[in-house]
Structure 1
Amino acid sequence: MPKKISHVLIANRGVPAVRIMDTCRDRRIKTTAVYSTPDRLAYHVRLADQAVCIGEGPPLESYLNMEKIIAAALKVGADAIHPGWGFLAENADFAEMVEDAGLTWIGPPPQVIRAMGDKVEAKKYARRANVPTIPGIDNVKTLDDVKRWIKEENVEYPIMLKAAKGGGGKGMVKVESEDELPIAFNQAKSEALKAFGDDTLLAEKYIRRGRHIEVQVVADQHGKVLHLYERECTLQRRNQKIIEEAPSPTLDEDLREEICFTAVRLMREIGYASAGTVEFIFDSSTNKFYFLEVNTRLQVEHGITELITGLDIVSLMLDIAEGKKLPIRQSEVKVNRWALEARLNAEDPVTFNPSFGTITRLQLPQGPAVRISQGIYEGADIPPYYDSLIMLIMTAGQNREAAIMTMDRALGRDLRVEGVKTIAPLLLAIIRHPSFRAGHFSTTFIEEHMDELVAMFREKSTEDEILKIAKFVARVSALGPQSWM
């Protein structure tokens, strides 16, 4: 029996919370925001129909406090919770607590989240679904396990060590040589334990010149599974994505069909329901792809898939959570544009150190081919407790070149953020780089070209503009009226 969602509490903040509110508003669904004390004047708080304070600044006291969030939902009379991305979005215990409280969880079943959150378990599902996986070993406990695998399989360096429970680049260390292995092993175990409470690792062959291709999937509770095509998420810094595009410039039509239907086959094997993403790494040298992981949540970059297909993925998640059948067939999903997304983080564009403070000036890019998902406003404070993402800038075009041209204008001419540093100069340098324009890049693009990219920075500020005006006034004062005046 389908159930009607009329009031959603959003267990998140900033960009993801605002994004979910947009669709809820379209569907006339009431929204409740939660916030920490430093976020009391945050953008997502201003946009919600109502808001509840759930604790102090540190995430463990607020956005990661499951009991307080569920208590808030029950207090305001919400009938569903959407977790967005980050924080509790892939926490199976939280999903179970939501359902046990009699609320609707807008996401995949808790048991699926738990299984896919374990990289070892996820690879077992992939193998059962006949999905290729990266050569490697699971359940690494000791350094000798890795050494034995390298010797027995004659594996060449570099290799990757990854946290078995990991994600988001945490607990992931590249090892270039045998000399580096002991330190890298201890680093990976330490990061894994700190981030996920479990220091179990897995070791895999490192794919040189690899590219990250992910397939967006939606599945209802009635066994219907569809793909919404793929996204290219290769450009990363510190193992975290920075620029994405859809479709991928890497794939031809045969490979596109193969990788998309491979993702569908895996999600059907898992018993997936809701929106989710299957990530692959693509080996450019062999034209082979390998399973990486399943993201059991709404992805940051889902917006570019929406731009190229015309579908609202958050709305589909709501339909699925209500028990409805997907209203579309696979043959009806068409790609009609190219889209890019740039993640604007409040960070130093050279060191990537977080930048905190007050937004003293904000000018947003505009135009028919631009989509902005913002988590800030002029005058807003950027607190030091949370992820540095403040805005998603998306552009679309008839083809890749047109989408890039619009992104160039959006970043280089229209965008102004003052009061904090952002990585806008780096984003602009990347999209202007000849290799990016040609579609020739890999996951190591930024580290390989960082000096070159920094040399391309052209930073402008209000001080620069004031200096230009001062020079003009001085010139007129010294030389008198000019001929054109």
Structure 2
Amino acid sequence: MSIKLKKINKILVANRSEIAIRIMRAATELDISTVAIYSQEDRFALHRYKADESYLVGDGKGPIEAYLDISDIIRIAIDADVDAIHPGYGFLSENPEFADQVIQSGMIFIGPTGETMRQLGSKVAARRLAVEAGVPVMPATEPLPSITEEKDQILKLAEKIGYPLMCKATWGGGGRGMRIIEKPDELLILAEQASREAAAAFGNGEIYLEKLVKNARHIEVQVMGDLYGNIVHMFERDCSLQRRHQKVVERAPAIFLDDKSRDFLCEQGLKIARAAKYQCAGTVEFLQDADNGEIYFIEVNPRIQVEHTVTDWVTGIDLVQAQIRIAAGGKIGDIKSSGVPSQKNIRLSGHAIQCRVTTEDPENNFTPDYGRLTAYRSASGFGIRLDAGTAFAGALITSHFDSLLVKVTSWAPDAESAMKRMDRALREFRIRGVTTNLRFLENLINHQKFLPADYTTSFIDKTKELFEFPERRDRASRLLNFIGNVIVNGNDEVKGHKLQTYSITPHTRKFAKKDPKDGTKQLLEKLGPEKFSNWMLDQKRVLVTDTTMRDAHQSILATRVRTQDLLSIAPSYAHCVPNMFSMECWGGATFDVAMRFLNECPWERLKALREAMPNILTQMLLRSANGVGYNNYPDNVIKFFIRQCADTGMDLFRVFDALNWVENMRTTIDAVRDNGKLCEGAICYTGDITDPEKTKYDLNYYVRVAKELKTAGVHILGIKDMAGI
């Protein structure tokens, strides 16, 4: 059989949450673009942001109905130029009409054909196929007639099989539409409940009755088929740990099976897959009577399973990537095209466990909790895999969808190590804001019967100690709890003791409330910039610039100290040190910090400081063509900015260029001179001029830059240290 490989360039994932993200990751690794869909209630869900494109589906419909809107999903796929659609699990994953419409629209459906779904998606039809294939089945009825109209007939059918019974939805999975019926007077009520639940979950309320094995293990075989008729199994998973028929913890392989039983089980799974001419990934589910070891077929799930992660790990096969490759024409046995080796080369390696972390409250009958995650810290480390949905700090958990937060999968060479690794991972989680089942899961995997798999499907319901939770020590926040307790209730250990108090009053120099003495500001106004610079050359004393308010202290001062704080000390400078040369109090990063972080006007700060220190030169840092910003600005912007600075009260402009490119500083220097202010040309120093081997930035280099600055018209030369001298 010759089938041409098709190139898939873009996949639409017709699902949500963790499985949607899982599929997108697999596609991305195959260099395939991804498209997500989301309902209005899922507009902030993580899966829509993990895709290359995302579109609202089912506008105006409910949160569940939106994901069941076949026509709108097809419309989005066509508009987005999609090559293939992956349904994930749940929603439309087992809907044959959806599969047919995808194919009729010219796209690839990543899953079994609609015909196969009709054959296997109905548990009753699948049971017929199993009988034809010679696979052991559980005694069961055909789909039940109308419960309201055919009560007597339903009671007779139940009596024929014998109580206890299991009522099951014909379509779908996940434990929905299932009820245990112990006696005749429960039958009609529970069957009606199961039918309504199935209709709400799968759009089909059809149900049937099956003989109940009370002491049963739940085992499932993973199968994979390609378009050429090749079908393989990937061994089994132990799914016996359930609550309300919903799987809680899954393991692979099932350690209670010996090689002979495992071979028999997997062969039964292959018989059904071959009889159905199965394509893509699917799961054949069985019950094993724990008392006698007999195995019975129960159903086929024609889709990827929630618990596929454990099979991924123990076989080393990426099931989702294999689905995509096979749908495009990849052949089993050709690892390059399909990612799946031949049956003889599929081997088990180690042991894997998956736990489903949910927002269910185990102390309140597992009622789902809803709200916002105020804190979320997940586990990690060797041998731990996380498949999360919308699980992050700030995420909103709603009542519209299932309560799954994250699937945690551990792997190790043996079952005990995998269990200990899972225990460690569960204890690492920190989730606040909603109740979770984490402590229940810890109790479950640490129970003495877990490791040897000494349990059945009723284990959780019958084991009360799983719900005994020791009080949490909460080491992460116990200090906060202690402080809060002391604030509210006080501390008996210090009650009645007078605490010593220490009060240190800072001593400040007193000065008369009058105009301060004249200083460098008045001298500049009298002499002008040129003569002022000559006056500086004539001075024998050191001229001091105070940098308390400058931007170089921004990390310890400027981001915390406001204009009001600076104005409180500014008059002291004017009166107590009138002979101060200048105050560097503005420009550079302080401009940005004042405006963006402190929400203050830097211009108002400059004006106020000028008034508070009328006798001392104000000084600023100016990044030449960058001004006080972080981009190059046009010349007219720089000129206007300098004029505004000068008019508002700035006297001395300390100008530099990070590369000592004097040509880049000329516009700034000229603008300062045009406004009658002092210009200090700052040379950026780096290197070591005392080292004769470092010749690039030697003394001659800095002398040359200084001469260029003097020629450009600066009044003062300065060194801006870039080397920590």
Same fold (TM over 0.5): yes
The Cα of 1:40 is off from its aligned counterpart by 2.1
Q: Would the alpha carbon gap of residues 158 and 465 (structure 1) be closer, same or farther in structure 2, given more than 3 Å must change?
A: farther
For 1:103-114, what aligned pairs fall within 5 Å after superposition?
Answer: 103-114=107-118
Q: For 2:152 and 2:265, how far apart are their aligned partners in 1?
A: 35
C-alpha separation in 1, matches of 2:410 and 2:267: 27
Which one of 305, 325, 350 corresponds to residue 337 of structure 1? 350
Is 2:379 the partner of 1:369? no
Over 3 Å counting, the alpha-carbon distance change for 1:134 and 1:331 in structure 2 is: same
Q: Distance in 2 between matches of 1:472 and 1:257?
A: 65
- The one-letter amino acid of 2:250's match is E
* 2:509 matched residue in structure 1: none
d(CA) in 2 for partners of 1:140, 1:444: 26
Give the Å deviation of 1:175: 1.3
Gaps of 5+ in 1: 481-485
Q: How does 1:453-468 map to 2 (within 5 A)?
A: 453-459=466-472, 464=478, 466-468=480-482
Does 2:309 correspond to 1:303?
yes
Counterpart of 1:245 (choices 251, 254, 269) is 251
1:201 aligned residue (196, 207, 212): 207
Q: Which moved more, 1:35-44 or 1:255-264?
A: 35-44
Q: How many residues align?
A: 476
More strand by share: 1
- Residues 1:445 and 2:459 are matched in the alignment: yes
Query: Using the alignment, how far apart are the partners of 1:404 and 1:468 within structure 2?
Result: 35
Letter in structure 1 aligned against 2:380:
Q
SS in structure 2 opposite 1:292? strand
| 1:429–1:457 Cα contact (<8 Å) kept | no
Q: What is the aligned counterpart of 1:172 among 168, 178, 192?
A: 178
1:21 corresponds, among 24, 44, 64, to 24
Query: Which structure has the larger Rg?
Result: 2
Q: Deviations over 1:192-218 (max 9, x none)?
A: 455455554322211021111001111
Tell me if structure 1 keeps the 8 A contact 2:255–2:452.
no
Distance 1:334 1:158, change over 3 A: same
Q: Which amino acid in 2 is paired with 1:128?
A: E
Mapped to 2, the partners of 1:394 and 1:163 lie a distance apart of 29
Work out the CA distance in 1 between the residues paired with 2:280 and 2:431: 35
Secondary structure of 2:455's partner? coil
C-alpha contact 1:365 1:415 (8 A) present in aligned 2: yes
Deviations 1:392-438 (A, max 9, x none): 000011111101001111112x1111111111111111111112233
Q: 1:96 aligns with which of 90, 94, 100?
A: 100
RMSD between aligned residues: 2.3
> 1:367 offset after TM fit, Å?
0.7
Q: Which 10-residue stretch deviates more, 432-441 or 336-345?
A: 432-441
Instruction: Say whether residues 1:84 and 2:97 are aligned partners.
Output: no
Matches within 5 A, 1:123-202: 123-141=127-145, 142-149=150-157, 151-152=159-160, 155=162, 157-196=163-202, 198-202=204-208
Show the counterpart of 2:561. none
**Please, which of 418, 421, 433 is the counterpart of residue 419 of structure 1?**
433
- State the TM-score, normalizing by the size of structure 1: 0.92
Cα distance in 2 between the residues matched to 1:457 and 1:15: 31
Task: Tell whether 2:370 aligns with 1:356.
Answer: yes
**Matched residue of 2:185: which SS?**
coil
Q: Distance in 2 between matches of 1:457 and 1:442?
A: 26
Q: Give distance in 1, aligned partners of 2:277 and 2:465.
A: 46
Residues 291-330 of structure 1: pairs in structure 2 closer than 5 A: 291-326=297-332, 327=334, 328-330=341-343
| AA aligned opposite 2:431 | V
Corresponding residue of 1:483: none
Letter in 1 for 2:410: T
The equivalences for 1:396-407 within 5 A come to 396-407=411-422
Stretches of structure 2 that go unaligned for 5 or more consecutive residues are 335-340, 498-725
Q: Distance in 1 between matches of 2:223 and 2:229?
A: 13
The answer to which structure, 1 or 2, has the higher relative contact order (CA under 8 A, 6+ apart) is: 1
Residues 293, 468 of structure 1: alpha-carbon distance in 2 compared, 3 angstrom cutoff: farther
- Name the SS for the 2:362 alignment partner: coil
Moved more, 115-124 or 279-288: 115-124
Q: Is 1:12–1:34's contact at 8 Å kept on the other side of the alignment?
A: yes
Greater shift in the superposed pair: 192-201 or 310-319: 192-201
Q: Percent identity?
A: 37
Structure 1 partner of 2:50: 47
Does the CA contact (< 8 Å) of 2:168 and 2:177 recur in 1?
A: yes
1:455-475 CA distance string (max 9 Å, x none) = 135446565552256679988
* Alignment map for 1:267-278 (pairs within 5 Å): 267-278=273-284
